[in-house]
Chain A
Amino acid sequence: MNLKPTIGIETHIELNTNTKMFCRCKVVDTEEPNISLCPTCIGLPGALPVPNEKAIRYITLLALATGCTITKKGMFHRKNYFYPDLPKNYQISQFDLPVGENGKLEIVIDNEKDYVEIERVHMEEDTGKSSHEGTGRIDSATSTSLDFNRSGVPLVEIVTKPVIQSSKVAVAYIEELRQLAIDLDISEGKLEKGNLRFDANISVAPSDSDELGTKVEIKNMNSLRSLERAIDYEIKRQSSAIENGESIIQETRHWDESKETTTSMRSKEGSADYRYFSDPDLPNMVLPDEFVNQVKESLPSLPHENRNKLVETGLDLSDSNVLSKSEKWILELYFEVFDNTKDSKATFNWITGELQGQMRKLEIKSLPEWFSPNFLSDVIKLIDENKISFTSGKVILEELIQKDTTPDDVAKKLDLYQENDESAISEIVEEVIKNNQDIVERIKNGEEKLVGFMVGQIIKSSGGSINPGIAKEILSKELNL
């Protein structure tokens, strides 16, 4: 039987506002529990929510950046469920009138553009954090510790339509969404800190069927790697069940990172009638045209726009995609260096390969202040013009990162400029031929691979300043090869 998987992803992104969604408590990044709390975010009797306008602005930014239609008169809804880390035992969220609906996100798969359709973008408040001692699960824990620092932190939830067909697309989608949130400056976007969390709804159906199979929700995927593996595992599990004639149960399953399997979560966590209703403590979320237009005008350059600009410099889509996911300063550096070199591939390779490689080796996260983008374009140009070797270029770059100097100074100091004067090179070549008559004989007898050895000897005699290409050319001429 030919089967096809269908995946929908729900992503929660923690917004980087200074204060929480419905109170003025600071959003804190600390292990120390329960230090940023007030009556509202721990649900004391009588406390009331007041919306954070900046968070609504951020969510509108994301909705606009994903091409969503903005709901002018939205609503806050209460989503009712009991859980110890949910102080009010309802979560203020949005239901039928979210901030944005029907958008799409461009992604790059194998050097081709693709799109993931977005169903909705809406506001949600975060819960506290539970640590279930003993088993790690609420229904069998010996005790549960609660930290409410995170309670009430604003989240934006992005729900895709069920349109994703592989783990590869799912990962590309999350990477793109993460970059978008960072470029919009609405989130730190750190997966390891839980700034970005995702659940996947996966179903498998016969390839020729128009209907989707029974969907299974997968929770607890903490990294892109676990997202990929959980999806692959679940597709396999459902496919073989269907092939064996078993039916799929609609349920929530838990990704077990250590066992690399999904297991059923048959507790109250899974069963859900959320009894959504409009929150009577909050007026409608009205987003006037004026506000939406103003937010629209403040949109920065988005990842897909950056990619298009990179493609215009001559890079292929795949390299452009890599660069569009880099830190902002790298992207800026690329464009500045490219402006001088006009060589997109060399600029890309030097930045993503040599420069970032050396920075990793030196364990530095940003370039020193003295490091001008011109240094990099100078190095690339010197190599292009055969004035230094590629290897010398790497040496110069290493110096430039560590010392306040210039490419020219380094090249001079380390004597890295290559000899390109033919008569001077000829002298050295003749000298080397004289000293290696036996090798020359063997070359003439057909052992052509020894040419490389001779070129090496020539460069060595020159102290490294001879351009290997020219050396080889003159050598061949002298030996009549």
Chain B
Amino acid sequence: MELLNLSIRELNNLFVNKKAKPSELYSEIFDRAANSEAALHAHLSLFEETNLEKAKNSDERFSNSENVGLLDGIPLAIKDNINIKNEKTTCSSKMLSNFISPYNATVISKLDTEQAIYTGKTNLDEFAMGSSTENSAFGLTRNPWNTDYVPGGSSGGSAASVASRSSIAALGSDTGGSIRQPASFCGLVGFKPTYGTVSRYGLVAFASSLDQIGPISKSVDDARIIYSAISGHDSLDSTSINDEQIDLPFDKNATIGIVKELMEDGISEESKKEVDKVIDILKQKGYNIKEVSLPLIKLSISIYYLIAPAECSANLARFDGVRYGLRVDGKTSYEMMENTRAEGFGDEVKRRILLGTYALSAGYYDEYYGKALRARKKMVDEFSSIFKECDYLISPTTPTEAFKAGEKTSNPLEMYMSDLCTIPANLAGLPAISIPTGLSSNNLPLGVQIMSKPLTDNSLLNFSEMLEKELDFNRTPEGWSK
């Protein structure tokens, strides 16, 4: 039986009714990964042998009706910036190429309780800095729809893994769109939850005030199942919040805002058309639609590229060759640290560390970082007032479809622009989701993004699921097998 295209709920039904076994799914998954890996390079490591035992134990539980939940025996891929105990966490960096984590991230401990199985660690832009997964020290990942194209980033490996059916779903991390943009480029659902609802403990920090772990999956329901497993207050993360969800209407009583600034210059006609398509559906169903304006959104890339690098310049300071990871010798301790960092980090990471160090320097702090913080605060206020009149905000997820590998690597600014639509949700801590809507003229997936106010994740998922049914995207990429 072909199990790879099924949803988590469907698979669980088969397991519960003893029509299929987790170990059967396990072999199908690893067969697929073995077939697709050469074309895609979605994974940095695959745990076929180490987890076979877990799959068999899962078989046992189902046969004894002792299964623990919907994720029991479900193979998930994990972005390689999330720590799994006794496994490598490389962050796609030479700096951590030999680093084996002695501890589990909180999300992994939670998935362990659910008896989920990990297929492997997925490729990413080094330390999650990038939008194409080309900034990996271990080689780029390709888009399963067409391998000439990038899968997006930084969670491009996770998206390519799920799209090629090498895993049922995956965990990614999203600092400025790193879950939603690759999900959109690969025809998948990508969900960035409200900041603080999923613990960051064990996620290698890029920009702490923006980072959030979330699922990349084939369906909204799969995303919901994973989100409900990994969310919840964590005493190990001081920015973790009590997940007290607020209910929004998701039937036609809901008011939908179209973000004017994300339907203007810089957004391709094709991307706009997908939003129009969704709006037509909503209109037909009787939803209240209005155009809204958030003028500060236009500044979001400028704000983001001061705040994220500033935080990253401190977060990445710990990689110095002293305690773990790469060490390149030198005559003194300082020379050793300098040599290690010079050799261990790639260009994009260095660019951002330098940018952030500069933005925080004496004499420049107020002009750059301080100003960015104030603008961020104003943007949060802008969103708060918009959410008084709208329940959900709709925009394209990305300005364009996926771009070709190599197309933007020499132009960082153009690369940064591909996160224009996704960054605002990180700056404001909002839940935001990308759902696939259709294919471009190049046969590449496109998606729309929906945002709502903090702590309305469940309503956002319900609303998205309604749209998902109407859109009936349901397409499987085959480009990787050509």
Residues of A in contact with B (beta carbons under 8 Å apart): 39, 42-51, 78, 80, 82, 84, 87-90, 138-141, 144, 146, 268, 273, 275-277, 280-283
Contacts and interface: CB of A to CB of B under 8 A. Distances in A.
Nearest to B324: A44
A40 to B, nearest CB: 9
Given A138-B332, A138-B333, A89 B318 contact: yes
A275 B236 contact: no
Given A43-B318, A281-B208, A141 B332 contact: yes
Given A89-B320, A280-B207, 19 more contacts: A45-B99, A46-B82, A46-B101, A46-B201, A48-B237, A50-B237, A84-B322, A84-B333, A87-B322, A88-B314, A138-B334, A144-B333, A273-B362, A275-B361, A275-B365, A277-B314, A277-B369, A282-B239, A283-B238
Contacts of B147: none
B102 A281 contact: no
Contact of A277 (B99, B200, B238, B310): B310
From DSSP, what is the main secondary structure of chain B's interface residues? loop
Nearest to A139: B332
Contacts of B99: 45
Contacts of B357: 275
B205 interface: yes
A172 to B, nearest CB: 35
7 contacts: A46-B204, A47-B103, A80-B314, A88-B317, A275-B361, A277-B365, A281-B238
B202 A46 contact: yes
A82 B102 CA distance: 24
The 3 closest A-B pairs by CB, nearest first: A89-B317, A280-B209, A280-B208
A268 B362 contact: no
From DSSP, what is the main secondary structure of chain A's interface residues? loop
Nearest to B335: A139
Interface of B: 81-83, 89, 91, 96, 99, 101-103, 105, 200-205, 207-209, 235-239, 310-311, 313-314, 317-320, 322-324, 332-334, 337, 357, 360-362, 365, 369
A78 B314 contact: yes
Contacts of A49: 238
Contact of B103 (A44, A280, A283): A44
A139 B201 contact: no
Considering residues A89, A139, A140, A144, which has the most beta carbons from chain B within 10 angstroms of its beta carbon? A89
Considering residues A78, A88, A144, A281, which has the most beta carbons from chain B within 10 angstroms of its beta carbon? A281
Considering residues A49, A273, A275, which has the most beta carbons from chain B within 10 angstroms of its beta carbon? A275
Contact of B360 (A47, A48, A140, A277): A277
Contacts of B208: 280-281
A80 B323 CA distance: 18
A139 B334 contact: yes
A45 B334 contact: no
A45 B204 CA distance: 5
Nearest to A283: B238
Contacts of A89: 314, 317-318, 320
Contacts of B361: 273, 275
A82 B105 contact: no
A141 B333 contact: yes
A90 B332 contact: no
A377 to B, nearest CB: 54
B317 A44 contact: no
Nearest to B200: A48
B304 to A, nearest CB: 14
B331 to A, nearest CB: 10
Given A48-B200, A89-B320, A275 B103 contact: no
A43 B357 CA distance: 20
Contacts of B317: 80, 82, 88-90
B235 A50 contact: yes
A78 B201 CA distance: 18
A137 to B, nearest CB: 10
B89 A46 contact: yes
B362 A45 contact: no
Contacts of A47: 103, 201-202
Contacts of B83: 45-46
Contacts of B207: 280
A46 B205 contact: yes
Contact of B334 (A50, A82, A275): A82
B300 to A, nearest CB: 18
A68 B391 CA distance: 47
Given A87-B323, A140-B332, A82 B337 contact: yes
Contacts of A281: 205, 208, 238-239
Given A46-B204, A46-B205, A84 B369 contact: no
Contact of B323 (A42, A51, A275, A277): A42
Contact of A39 (B102, B200, B362): B102
B89 A45 contact: yes
Nearest to B196: A283
Contacts of B105: 46
Contacts of A273: 361-362
A286 to B, nearest CB: 12
B194 to A, nearest CB: 15
Nearest to A88: B318
A146 B322 contact: yes
A281 B201 CA distance: 10
A45 B236 CA distance: 14
B239 A283 contact: yes
A403 to B, nearest CB: 56
B108 to A, nearest CB: 10
B239 A87 contact: no
A421 B357 CA distance: 91
Given A43-B323, A144-B333, A48 B362 contact: no
B323 A45 contact: no
B350 to A, nearest CB: 15
A282 B240 CA distance: 10
B360 A80 contact: yes
A433 B257 CA distance: 121
Contacts of A275: 313-314, 357, 360-362, 365
A84 to B, nearest CB: 5
Contacts of A268: 334
B332 A82 contact: no
B370 to A, nearest CB: 9
A235 B237 CA distance: 48
Contact of B91 (A45, A141, A144, A283): A45
A244 to B, nearest CB: 33
Given A39-B102, A140-B332, A50 B314 contact: no
Contacts of A140: 332
Nearest to B333: A84
Considering residues A84, A146, A277, which has the most beta carbons from chain B within 10 angstroms of its beta carbon? A277
Contacts of B209: 280
A143 to B, nearest CB: 9
Nearest to B363: A273
A269 B336 CA distance: 16
Nearest to B95: A45
A49 B235 CA distance: 10
Considering residues A48, A50, A82, which has the most beta carbons from chain B within 10 angstroms of its beta carbon? A48
